[in-house]
Amino acid sequence: MTEVKTAVKISVAQAPELERALKTVLETEEKEIVVNMEDTIYMSSVGLRVFASIQKKINASGKTMVLKNVRPQMKEIFEVTGFVGVLSFE
């Protein structure tokens, strides 16, 4: 298991760094990626796009990704946008 910690904000400025970090883990032999969102209090649609793109790659690779420590306001964004049925949460 490899853990990737997200920034306080996931917007246009931070999304490329998050995407790079997740893609780097995808290129390893690691089977499980844990995304620790404990510090994240804001996420734009760009952040959602990163998670959608990475989840698609993960599904194709047979690996798993779990989002943990998701704050209630962030979980609400995932629920409203329909991502709760696509992503895994702990």
Digit-coded pLDDT (tens) for 27-79? 999 999 999 999 999 999 999 999 999 999 999 999 999 999 999 999 999 99
pLDDT at 21: 97
Residue ranges and CATH numbers for the domains of the chain are 1-87 (3.30.750.24)
Which residues, 6+ apart, have CB-to-CB distance to 28 below 8 Å?
A: 2
- Regarding pTM above 0.85, the answer is yes
Distance CA 48, CA 65 (A): 14
pLDDT at 51: 98
H or E element in which residue 21 lies = helix 15-26
